[in-house]
Amino acid sequence: MAQPLPVKVLEVCRVAPPPDLPNLASPSSLPLTFFDILWLRFPPVERLFFYEFSSSNTPFFDSIIPKLRHFLSLTLQHYLPLAGNLVWPQDSHKPFIKYVDGDGVSLTIAESNMDFYHLSGNGFREATECRPLIPHLEESHERVAVVALQITLFPNSGFCIGITSHHAVLDGKTSTSFVKSWAYICNKNGRSGSADPPPSWPSLPPDLTPFYDRAAIKDPAELEVIYLKGWLKQGGPNNRSLTLMKAQVQPSLVRATFELSGEQIQKLRNFVSADQNRSKHQVQRISTFSLVLGYTFVCLQRAIEAKEKNAILGFSVDSRSRLKPTIPSTYFGNCISGCIVVPETEKVLREKYGVCYVAEAISESIKGLENGVLNGAETWVSIINQAMDQGESKQRMMSVAGSPRFEVYSTDFGFGRPRKVEIASIDKTEAVNLSESRNGNGGVEIGLVLNVQQMRSFASLFAKVLEEEVH
C-alpha cells in the first residue's frame, strides 16, 4: 500500500494587493542595482516560521487562514514589487521588477501529518524532511516570481509559514522586514479575530516602511556593467535567461540547531581578550558575531577534518550604514557587501587558541570595511559562483545565512512568538544559519546541515571545546 503523502495541498491561490490602492502605494516597477544583479540566478532563499497552537481547538481554517490571507493583501500595498515578477525584456539592457494588475503572490494552503515538534526542534532531522513545507517560485526564461508563500497546518499542534524569496530582489533584511510588516499589520488590526477590513488603510511604523529610492545607490565603478556581462556570458553568449540555478539536497544530510547562551558568549569574549593581552595584540572588543562565527568555524573545521593549507570563510555584511553617503536602514532590495577570511588551517585547528585566531581574523576583516565596503566588489560574482559550485573535489567554503540582528523571533502575527525559525535553503548552499536565541538570553542559534558522521562530531566538539579549552 502506498504511503500517505507527508503534506497534502488543499489550495493554491494568488493573493493580490487591494484593487483600490491609495496614493501612498509602493512603485509598480523597480530597476535592479548592481547589489541585486549580483544574485540574478542564485537559488532562492527559503525560510520557515513554526508557530505552536495555544490550544488544540484553534480555528485554523475559519479564523487563522482568512486573517493571514486578508492582511497579506493589505501588506502588499506597501510591498507592491513582491506581488510582481522579475523580467528582462529584449528592449531593456537589464532586468527589473514589474507589477501589473492581476499579479499577486502565490499562496499554498496545505496540511501535514508529520511531527510538528520534531520538525521545529533542535535535534538531528533529515535535511529533506522540511522540503514539502517550502513553496516554489514560478519561473521561466522570461520571468520569475519574486516571492511565494505556503501555510501548512499540523492538526492540534501548530502551523508553519514558508517563504521562498528571490535573492536578486530581497536580501535577508528586506525579506524579514516584509514578514514582520505582515505580522505587524495582522497583529495590530486583527486582534478581534475577525478578518473584516480595518476602518482605514493600515500604516507601517517608520522602522518597517520600505525605502524605494534607487538613486541612493551609487555605482562609480560601473559594477552593474561588470555583473551583467558576467551573467550574459554564463551559458551565453547573450544569455538573458532568468532561470535560477538548481541545487539538490543530498539524502544523507541532516539538519540540527545549536546554541551559545549569552553567558557562554561572554566566556568566549573574556577568553579572547585574555589572549590579546597575552600575545600583546592590539586589544579590541570582539563582536558577538565574530565570537560565535569564529567558534562555529573552528568546531566545523575539526568536524570535517579539514586538510587544506588554508580554510575559507565568507559572510555578508549589511552595507546600508557603511555606504558613503549612508542610506536608510529600511532600503528595499539588496545592500550587502562580502567579506572573505582565509586563515591557516593549522592555526584554526590548534587547540585552545584556534578560536582566538579566527575570531580576531573575522573582526579584522569587518574592520577593513571602514576603508570601503566595495573594495574588490568586481570579483564578487566569481566568489559566489565558487561557493555554489562546491563539488566533491572542491574545498568547502563556509558561508553565513541570516543574522541575529534580524530578530526573527519577534515575528508575532497575533499567535505568539515563533517556536522555531529556520533558513531551510542552507541544505543546498552549505551555509551556517545564525539567528538570535528564542530564549531571549542574549544568545545565538546556529543552524547547520552536514552528513551524520560530521554532525555527530560537530555536536561533540561544540560542547567539548567550550568546556575544556576556553578558560
Nearest to 168 by CA among 41, 14, 347, 28: 41
DSSP character string of 29-52: EEE--HHHHTTTTSPPEEEEEEEE
Amino acid sitting at position 45: V
Q: Is the peptide bond before 22 cis (omega within 30 degrees of 0)?
A: no
Please state whether 287 falls in left (phi above 0), alpha (psi between -120 and 50) or beta. beta
Q: Distance of CA 9 to CAs 13, 111, 133, 217, 306, Å?
A: 11, 7, 10, 41, 43
Instruction: Give yes or no: 78 in active site.
Output: no
Beta strands in 53-205 (DSSP E): 85-87, 96-98, 105-112, 125-126, 143-145, 147-154, 158-165
Instruction: Give yes or no: 281 in active site.
Output: no
DSSP character string of 250-316: PTTEEEEEEEE-HHHHHHHHHHHHHHHHHTTPPP-PPPHHHHHHHHHHHHHHHHTT--SSB--EEEE
Catalytic residue selected from 115, 219, 275, 412: 412
Helix (H, G, I), strand (E, B) or coil at 433: strand
Catalytic residue selected from 70, 78, 166, 167: 167
DSSP 28: S
Torsion angle in degrees (nearest 10) through CA of 419, 448, 138, 165: 70
Cα separation, 215 vs 463, in Å, equals: 48
Q: How many CB atoms lie within 10 A of CB 414?
A: 17
Cβ neighbours of residue 305 under 8 Å, at least 6 residues apart? none
Q: Are strands 398-401 and 432-436 parallel, antiparallel or unpaired?
A: parallel
Beta strands in 168-232 (DSSP E): none
* 386's grid cell: 565558487
**Considering just the CA atoms, what is the radius of gyration of the chain in Å?**
22
Cα separation, 49 vs 163, in Å, equals: 8
Write out the catalytic residue numbers: 167, 412
